[in-house]
Amino acid sequence: MTGEDPFLWLEDVEGEAALGWVAERNAETAAALTSDPRFETLRGELREVLDDAERIPYTVRRGAYLYDYWRDADRPKGVWRRTTLEQYRKDEPAWDVLLDVDALAAADGEEWVWAGAAVRYPDYRRALVMLSRDGSDAVVVREFDLDDRAFVPGGFEVAEAKTRVAWIDEDTLFVGADLGPDSLTASGYPRTVRRWRRGTALEDAEVVYEAEHTDVSASGWYDATPGFERAFVSRATDFFHRELHLLADGDRLVRIDVPADAGAYAHRQWLVVTPKSPWLGHPAGSLLVFDFDAFLAGDRTAHALFTPDERTALSGHCWTRHHLILDTLADVATRLEVLTPGPDGWSRRPLADVPPLSSACITDTDPDTSDEYFLDVDGFLQPSTLTRGHIGGDTEVLKQAPARFDTAGLAVRQHFATSRDGTAVPYFVVGPADRDRPGPALLYGYGGFRDQQTPGYDAITGRAWLARGGTFVVANIRGGAEYGPAWHQAALGPHRVRAFEDFAAVAADLTARGITTPDRLGITGASNGGLLMGAMLVRHPELFGAVVAKVPLLDMLRYHRLLAGASWIAEYGDPDTEADRPHLEDMSPYHNLAAGRPYPPVLLMTSTRDDRVHPGHARKTAARLRELGHRVLFHENTGGGHGGASDNEQAAHNRALAYTFLWQHLGGGTGS
């Protein structure tokens, strides 16, 4: 596409003309999909899955209680609640409801969506509750009393913004908010950190730290661990680089001298660093710990708790009171170890065995007081099992999720495709174990921002796709972090094409293995994965039979001017520079659409309330495809934010639209 963008008017999120166009497209999509008898069946089944009363209520410990946020058919907006461990062990625990979001929404006349809560340590008496209007990233903040189960009259309250807030003590917060001109960065996040004292106006709170307008954000937090009380501030100069400072006496900044691309934080006496580039003789992707005070004094002696190799990467880690639990991936297979500091260094031993082609993660620990941990294990065909244990002690199975789709005759396999440059790209295939001919398949990918795609039980995919005869595929393409920082960095900026080539290689490999054929292979992705879908549409339309792109990023020449887009320049490049504009123009799906190309059918889905990826990306692309004479359906949910839906009814409706579309165009099995 050359010349001025003829569809800029569709970027007017709530403009009358734009919303009129959206209503017309939504009606067309409803006529094409909701009238299909498969739609209502799918919607009902998916709503049943989402409202499942027997699913595991995952909790976080705060003192004596386990906290949970829960939605179901009777409480579509959900409740924030808590219980004791003794109760949680029961099949039907007694829950203490702290906040009913449905009741609050009705009382306030607002479409509130729960966005989390920061509970004050160590007394856990008060919380800063965050509420989103219809699912947007921006939130309002209100102080809540957990004993009174009510908002605090005259308490801390912050108006709607992409606020950063943290407790210092019972009467003081660190806060970054929208306070008018110059208070936000170009990405729309807070630029200042203020110390706000109870009883004073937020706009009068003292500024203790300030980032640049071109930075992504600034934030501050307080570590209240007894004996290690410390305050920190940081500025994210871009999505992957930041400066970290200790806020010493008199608000003196003490720079924590680690590489800007490294993750770094303090835990008790330790400084923990995860460098993304080689540092101090250690490779990128290592996990290093230093004595915090010695580091500030200039000592760079590190304990290397993890060193990656060609096939193994750090996935995550978390602390208990006396140990560190290490989560690593070996060819995307989970391994868990316990590391323990001692006078002669750090010892290690396995924590738990993880079945092949499954995943395990620590959902919660209690690093302040005990060595308790909660371990969740699942797989593509294996519902979650939640285990509680104490390191060095006994374990108990607390919860077992029910099976929500028939897995008889299904199997999970891992294969490797060869990308254009010779790189081996792993992918998982879930489907019939003994299929003797190609069938319908759905390929998912993301490929960006260090995201990792590991095996997991998804009852939505199971009911809507696998149980109806489809095969589901997950591609571990570059841009993610399945093999550490290098796997991500290989697809940054001008090298983004490698992620596209990896995905295309997996698609071709599926056909070469006889698993599917191009006309029966659908693809789906969201957000950055929506960019991947757009790239596949314009680069390799011959490989696919249908494309579903959700909340997609598609205009790569204006993305940095829309909502949070400026924060992603480190991932993609800057369209305003001569160095980056050529590759961004080449990779921009919106600008590479053409008439006369044999594009497969496309479904574009977005949300009016998405304040992260602008709905204009999907709107303009749908308009351009229509103008060029191509088949495209478009659906925009009026609420839901970047997640696309703000309650289970919306989620079931949206997903039923997508699966109905896929079955219409890919056919086969009992889904046809």
Q: What share of the chain is helix, strand, coil (3-state, %, to 5)?
A: 25, 35, 40
Degrees, nearest 5: CA angle 307-234-575 = 85
547-595 pLDDT, tens per residue? 999 999 999 999 999 999 999 999 999 999 999 999 999 999 999 999 9
77, 101 in Cβ contact below 8 A?
yes
79-115 pLDDT, tens per residue? 999 999 999 999 999 999 999 999 999 999 999 999 9
| pLDDT of residue 446 exceeding 90 | yes
Q: Specify the amino acid at residue 91.
A: D
460-511 pLDDT, tens per residue? 999 999 999 999 999 999 999 999 999 999 999 999 999 999 999 999 999 9
238-265 pLDDT, tens per residue? 999 999 999 998 899 999 999 999 999 9
Most distant CA pair in the chain, distance? 73
Asked if the structure places residue 175 within a domain, the reply is yes
Q: What is the Cα–Cα distance from 249 to 521, expressed in whole angstroms? A: 61
* Rounded CA Rg of the chain: 25
pLDDT of residue 2: 65
Burial class (CB in 10 A: 0-12, 13-18, 19+), 385: middle
User: Do 376 and 457 belong together in one domain?
Assistant: no
Rounded to the nearest 5°, which phi and psi values hold at 202?
A: -60, -40
Residue-wise over 234-248: b if at least 16 C-beta within 10 A, else e?
bbbbbbbbbbbbbbe
Among positive and negative, which fits the CA dihedral 134, 662, 32, 555?
Answer: positive
498, 478 in Cβ contact below 8 A?
yes
The separation between CA 566 and the C-alpha centre of its own chain, rounded to angstroms, equals 18
Mean per-residue pLDDT, 328-333? 97
User: Do 129 and 234 belong together in one domain?
Assistant: no
| pLDDT of residue 119 exceeding 70 | yes
Q: Which of 117, 138, 161 is the last residue of a domain?
A: 161
Q: What is the CATH number of the domain that holds 654?
A: 3.40.50.1820
Q: Which of 378, 401, 424 is the last residue of a domain?
A: 401
| pLDDT of residue 326 exceeding 80 | yes
Q: What is the Cα–Cα distance from 275 to 286, expressed in whole angstroms? A: 6
Those residues whose C-beta lies under 8 Å from the C-beta of residue 186, and which sit 6 or more positions away, are 213, 214, 566
Kindly report whether the peptide bond that precedes residue 122 is cis, defined as omega within 30 degrees of 0. yes
Strand pairing report for 546-550 and 521-526: parallel
User: Do 383 and 415 belong together in one domain?
Assistant: no
Classify residue 481 by its DSSP letter. -
Among positive and negative, which fits the CA dihedral 285, 287, 292, 294?
Answer: negative
pLDDT of residue 668: 53
511-521 pLDDT, tens per residue? 999 999 999 99
User: Do 115 and 242 belong together in one domain?
Assistant: no
Asked if the structure places residue 606 within a domain, the reply is yes
Asked if the structure places residue 543 within a domain, the reply is yes
Strand pairing report for 139-145 and 157-161: antiparallel
Burial class (CB in 10 A: 0-12, 13-18, 19+), 265: middle
pLDDT of residue 669: 43
| pLDDT of residue 299 exceeding 60 | yes
Question: Angle of helix 648-666 relative to helix 16-33, nearest 10 degrees?
Answer: 60
Kindly report whether the peptide bond that precedes residue 356 is cis, defined as omega within 30 degrees of 0. no
Q: Which helix (H) or strand (E) holds 430?
A: strand 424-432
Classify residue 215 by its DSSP letter. S
Q: What is the DSSP string of 437-449?
A: S---EEEE----T
Closest CA to 447 of 567, 531, 551, 328: 531
Question: Angle of helix 616-627 relative to helix 528-539, nearest 10 degrees?
Answer: 20
Those residues whose C-beta lies under 8 Å from the C-beta of residue 485, and which sit 6 or more positions away, are 276, 277, 284, 285, 450
49-73 pLDDT, tens per residue? 999 999 999 999 999 999 999 999 9
Asked if the structure places residue 12 within a domain, the reply is no
Classify residue 218 by its DSSP letter. E
pLDDT of residue 639: 87
Classify residue 190 by its DSSP letter. B
Mean per-residue pLDDT, 631-648? 93
* 359 backbone φψ class: left, alpha, beta (φ>0; ψ -120 to 50): beta
End-to-end, the C-alpha distance of the chain in Å comes to: 37
Q: Which of 348, 383, 401 is the last residue of a domain?
A: 401
Helix, strand, or coil (residue 276): coil
pLDDT of residue 140: 98
User: Do 437 and 569 belong together in one domain?
Assistant: yes
User: Do 71 and 36 belong together in one domain?
Assistant: no
User: Do 511 and 642 belong together in one domain?
Assistant: yes
Structurally, the chain folds into a number of domains equal to: 4
pLDDT-based confidence at 3, cuts 50/70/90?
confident
Those residues whose C-beta lies under 8 Å from the C-beta of residue 48, and which sit 6 or more positions away, are none
The separation between CA 255 and the C-alpha centre of its own chain, rounded to angstroms, equals 29
pTM: 0.96
Those residues whose C-beta lies under 8 Å from the C-beta of residue 659, and which sit 6 or more positions away, are 38, 42, 464, 465, 671
- The residues that are catalytic are 527, 642
Closest CA to 570 of 276, 135, 197, 157: 276
Classify residue 234 by its DSSP letter. E
Q: How many helices (H) and strands (E) does the chain have?
A: 13, 37
Q: What is the Cα–Cα distance from 526 to 638, expressed in whole angstroms? A: 17
Degrees, nearest 5: CA angle 595-597-600 = 120
Asked if the structure places residue 295 within a domain, the reply is no
pLDDT of residue 672: 44
Q: What is the DSSP string of 565-597?
A: GGGGHHHH--TTSTTTHHHHHHH-TGGG--TT-
User: Do 151 and 247 belong together in one domain?
Assistant: no
| pLDDT of residue 522 exceeding 90 | yes
Mean per-residue pLDDT, 380-384? 98
Asked if the structure places residue 9 within a domain, the reply is no
277, 284 in Cβ contact below 8 A?
yes
Burial class (CB in 10 A: 0-12, 13-18, 19+), 643: buried
User: Do 365 and 247 belong together in one domain?
Assistant: no
Burial class (CB in 10 A: 0-12, 13-18, 19+), 321: middle
User: Do 89 and 183 belong together in one domain?
Assistant: no
128-169 pLDDT, tens per residue? 999 999 999 999 999 999 999 999 999 999 999 999 999 999
User: Do 74 and 221 belong together in one domain?
Assistant: no
Helix, strand, or coil (residue 360): strand
Burial class (CB in 10 A: 0-12, 13-18, 19+), 610: buried
Classify residue 282 by its DSSP letter. B
pLDDT-based confidence at 436, cuts 50/70/90?
confident
Domain that holds residue 418: 23-48+404-671
Q: What is the Cα–Cα distance from 387 to 592, expressed in whole angstroms? A: 50
Asked if the structure places residue 288 within a domain, the reply is no
pLDDT of residue 670: 47
Asked if the structure places residue 104 within a domain, the reply is yes
Q: What is the Cα–Cα distance from 655 to 668, expressed in whole angstroms? A: 19
Q: What is the mean pLDDT of the chain?
A: 97
Closest CA to 56 of 43, 68, 45: 68
User: Do 438 and 520 belong together in one domain?
Assistant: yes
